[in-house]
Amino acid sequence: MIKVLKSGLHTSIQDLGRFGYRNQGVPNSGCMDLISAGLANSLLDNSICNAVLEVTLMGPKLLFLSDSIIAITGAGMSPKINRKNISNYKAYKISEGDVLSFGRLSKGTRSYLAVKNGILSEIKLNSRSQFSTITNSSRLEKDDILEINKDFSNFNITNGVVKNKIQFFETDEIEVTRGPEFDLFSKKEIYKLINQVYTVSKDNNRMGYQMEEVVVTHTISMITSPVLPGTVQLLPSGKVIILMKDAQTTGGYPRIFQLTELAISILAQKKVGDTFKIKLSPTVHI
């Protein structure tokens, strides 16, 4: 088991997400950066479906009440076991009584903590992902107890390391494909959108990222339509909103682009003030 001594800014249990319930208004949820979460699980020979902890900007302090093996990927948050520095992208044996903590953020926004065999929280609608209206809480709280599986006898810890530690999210390009309303905009407007440098505003969270810039204003009116994580909506004011993993299931603004899963993971590692450009997928022709 793991006891939460400090919860951090926003630490939550996430897995691949909750699927098959969008027709009932239930968001997908799941890891914002599926690439980093998948790497954390792979370092421990876990299933890609195993739940991990998603740590945002400022990490928690965790007391391990049983032995385990852990791996951390994604953002650099200066993790420590018993105040001794450890590295991302490497498996570590952790013993009963050990304390895992996080320090200064050096790059990225979200870290992923995997434990051998995953976090064994309650399954709701086929997922362990925390979301406020589905689970008891949307994040970890102080004194929470997390169940884990203590059986790791067949795991060789020396194999749990990633040698190439170049971060895939250290890029300023985010690839998009066409959205359903793409053709409602002129070539000039599309070129303006893809040539714009975007800045992440303070209005960003697991539901969506709003950009600071006013790019293309419009008067297009449309009925409420389905949206997905990664849907890029263009507001009448000319501002851009990119929906993320906890986003609503419908929206009433033009869906001009759609992010790839890799692009969602890259954006999930951007914070307030970070900049990027949109790159059209090679399959998209204007």
Would you state the pLDDT for residue 167?
72
Assign 149 a pLDDT band (cuts: 50, 70, 90).
confident
- Is it the case that residue 248 has pLDDT exceeding 80? yes
Would you state the pLDDT for residue 155?
72
The H or E element containing residue 36 is: helix 34-43
Determine what percent of the chain is predicted with pLDDT higher than 90: 87
In the numeric block, the tokens 């603004």 are attached to 253
Tokens of 197: 């440098």
Closest Cα partner for 232 from 244, 224, 222, 220? Answer: 244
C-beta atoms surrounding 47 within 10 Å? 12
Would you state the pLDDT for residue 151?
72
Q: Are 185 and 256 in contact (CB under 8 A)?
A: yes
Tokens of 85: 């520095």
- Is it the case that residue 160 has pLDDT exceeding 70? no
**pLDDT per residue as tens digits for the range 7-41:** 999 999 999 999 999 989 999 999 999 999 999 99
C-beta atoms surrounding 3 within 10 Å? 15
- Is it the case that residue 143 has pLDDT exceeding 70? yes
- Is it the case that residue 59 has pLDDT exceeding 90? yes
What is the distance between the alpha carbons of residues 143 and 128, in angstroms, rounded to a whole number? 19
C-beta atoms surrounding 197 within 10 Å? 11
Would you state the pLDDT for residue 285?
78
SS (H, E, C) 147-204: CECCCCCCCCHHHCECCCCCCCCCCCEEEEEECCCHHHCCHHHHHHHHHCEEEEEEEE
Assign 184 a pLDDT band (cuts: 50, 70, 90).
very high
pTM of the full predicted structure?
Answer: 0.93
- Is it the case that residue 68 has pLDDT exceeding 70? yes
Domain residues of the chain, as ranges? 2-159, 173-280
Assign 264 a pLDDT band (cuts: 50, 70, 90).
very high
At the second CATH level, the architecture of 173-280 is Beta Barrel (2.40)
